[in-house]
A and B are shown apart, each in its own frame.
Chain A
Amino acid sequence: MNIPKLLRWRSFTPLIIVLIACSAACSFTFFLTSASLEVVEVPLRDPRGELIVLFSSSSKVPQTGTISLNLAEKLRSVKGVKAVSPEVLAPVEVEGRPAFLRGIYPFEFAVIEDMRIDLPGEKDWVLVGSKLGKMLGVREGDVLQIKGLIVNKTISLKVVGIIEGPGLLSDELVASLALGQELRALSKDQVTLIRVRVDPIAFKPEDLEELVPTSSSRQSLLEKFATLLHPASVKASQPLSYISSTESLVEKEVGTSKILIWSLVLVVVFSSSLAVYNGVEWVLEEMRVTLSLLRALGLTQVQMKIWLLLLFALISVLSGPAGYLTGYLLFKFLSDRGMLRLMFHTLAPSTGIDALITSMVAVASITLVSLTVNLRSYQEV
C-alpha cells in the first residue's frame, strides 16, 4: 500500500510551524543560557588545558574577589609553571557603555595569551577589544574617556592597539595593572585573579595546593538541596541591607540571574507542550478519513500506531534542525547588534551540537507523547 500518496501533506503545515517555533525557542533559550554561563565562567577555562586561574575562594565568580599579589611571586618558582599573569578586572564606563578594564603586566600577559604586545612607551595606554572597538567606532591613536564604576574617577587613555580575534578580550579594555588597581579601588598588593600557564607534563597540582589553601566554606550543591529538603535547618534569607560584604551581594545577584536563565529551558519545553499537542490533534483530525480508509483496507491497529509514530517522529526530528537554525540565526543577528550582553560581554551562540540535540530531542519527545495521548482517545470514523 502506498500510504504517503493517500495523505494530505498540507494538513501537516500547522504542526510543522509549531514544531519549528518550539525548536527555535528551545535553541534560543539554550544559547542564552550557555552563553550567559560561559561569560561568567569562561575566564576559568582553557581549551588547551594549560591554563589555571586562581581567584578568591570566597568568591563565586572570578570577577568579584581579590587575592594577594604575593601569590604570583610564589607561583613563579613552582616547577612546570611557564608564565604567571596577575590581573585586575575593573568595571568601567567607556563612551556610555559599561565594560571591564583588565589591568595587566604586558609581558606576562602576552605569554599567557600567546600574543605580541608592542607598547610605544606611552604612559596612559589602553588596548581595545575588536568587538568593543567596532561598537564604539574606535581606532588606533584615538583618546578614550574612561569612567570608573567603583571609583568615581574619569581618565583619558590613548588607544595603542586593537585586540583582534574572538574570545572574552574582544569585549574588554586592557591597560596597566596599576591603573586597573586604581579603578577597582585595590591596594598595590591586591589583584582580582592570577592566570598561570603551565607545562601539563612537568606541572604537579599538589605543588599548587601547598601554596593555595583550599577553603571549606563553600557549600556544595548537594548540601544546598539537603538544606531545602530538611525544613528544620532552613533559615530565613537575610534582607539586603543587613549583609555586610558588598562583593557577596554582587555574587548573589549574579547567581540569581544564572538560576533564572537555567530554569528557562525546561519551562519553555513544558509551556510549549500544549501547543504541540494541539498541532498533533489537528493533524489526526485531518487524517481521520484516510486512516479509517486504511483500516478498512486491512491495516491493523498496531500497524497504524507504529506507522503514525514513525511518521510523527520523522517530522519532529526534521523540524528540529530547521528550528535550531532559526534560533541560531536570530541569536547571531541580535548578538551582532549588541542587544545580547551580560557581564559587559557580548553573548555569542555556541556552535556545539548540544543545542541541536536538545531542541530535537525536546520537540520529538513532546510530539510523541502528544501523539500517544491522542491515540488513546482516537476514534475512527
Chain B
Amino acid sequence: MSNYLPSRPCLLSIHISLGNRKLFASQVLTVSFLVALVSAAMSFRSMLNLARPEYFGGWGAFIKAFLEETSSLVKVWSWVIWVLTLTAVYVANLRAAKSTNEVLTTLRVLGALKKDVISLTLLKLIILGTLSWLLGWSIGLASAQIIFRLTAYALKGPYAIPLLDLADLIRLLVWTLSAVFAGGIWPLLWRSKA
C-alpha cells in the first residue's frame, strides 16, 4: 500500500513549494474566478454551436453566420481576460515569492541548487494552474447552467444547456497554464536572482 502513496520527500517538496496555505488558497481562488468567467463564456459558445441550421429552414445560413460572429467575439474577449488573469497571477506570485523567500534562502544555504529552487516554483505553478482549472471550469459551468436555465424560463428562450466538451476543457487547461506560467515568470526570475 505504501508503494502507491507519494514519498515523504515528494510531499515535503509540495509543502515547501506551496508556501503559506492561506496565500495559496487566495491565489487559487483569484485565478479560478477568472477561469470560471472564461469557461462560462466558452460553454455559452458551445451551446450556440449546438444550434442546428436545419431547424431554421431558409434562415439556416443566416443563423450559422451569426453564430460564427458571436463565437468569434467570445474568443477575442477571452484573450482580454487572459491578460487580466496573467496580471492577477503576477501579483499573487509576487506575494507568494516574498512569503517563501526565507524558506528557499535557507534551503540554498543548506546546499540546494538554484535549479532545485526553480523546480519548486514550477511545481507550485503547475499545482496552481491545475487546481484553478479544475475549480474554475466547475464553477463557470455550474453558474452558466443556472443562469441560462433561469434566463430561459424568464425569457422563454431556446431550450439548450451550456456544456463544455473535452476539446473545450483541454483548450481551457492550456489557457490557464499559459496565463499562470506567463504571470509567474517575473516573480520566478526575481526569486532566482535572490
Contact = CB atoms under 8 A, between A and B. Distances in A.
Interface of A: 14-15, 17-18, 21-22, 24-25, 28-29, 32, 36, 91, 93, 98, 149-151, 185, 224-225, 227-228, 234-241, 246-247, 249-250, 252-257, 259-261, 263-264, 267-268, 270-272, 274-275, 277-279, 281-282, 285, 327, 330, 334, 339-344, 347
Contacts of A241: 55
Given A228-B154, A339-B72, 6 more contacts: A98-B62, A150-B58, A256-B151, A272-B34, A274-B29, A277-B30
B63 interface: yes
B146 to A, nearest CB: 12
6 contacts: A255-B155, A261-B73, A271-B36, A271-B81, A275-B84, A279-B91
Contacts of B160: 240
Q: Which 5 A-B pairs have the closest CB atoms?
A: A275-B88, A98-B65, A274-B30, A149-B61, A21-B87
Given A29-B77, A224-B155, A237-B157, A250 B62 contact: yes
Interface in B57-80: 57-59, 61-63, 65-67, 69-70, 72-73, 76-77, 80
Interface string B32-48: 01101100110010001
A217 to B, nearest CB: 13
B152 interface: yes
A237 B159 CA distance: 6
Interface residues of B, number: 56
A205 to B, nearest CB: 29
A278 B65 contact: no
A15 B91 contact: yes
B58 A278 contact: no
Given A240-B159, A330-B80, A278 B91 contact: yes
Nearest to B96: A278
Contacts of A239: 159
Contacts of A224: 154-155
Given A250-B59, A282-B91, A225 B70 contact: no
Given A252-B157, A264-B77, A271-B34, A240 B55 contact: yes
Contacts of B70: 257, 260, 342
A28 B153 contact: no
A227 B154 contact: yes
Given A225-B154, A227-B153, A237-B159, A253 B67 contact: yes
Residue of A25, A224, A250 with highest tally of chain B CB at under 10 A: A25
Contacts of A235: 153, 156
B26 A278 contact: yes
B18 interface: no
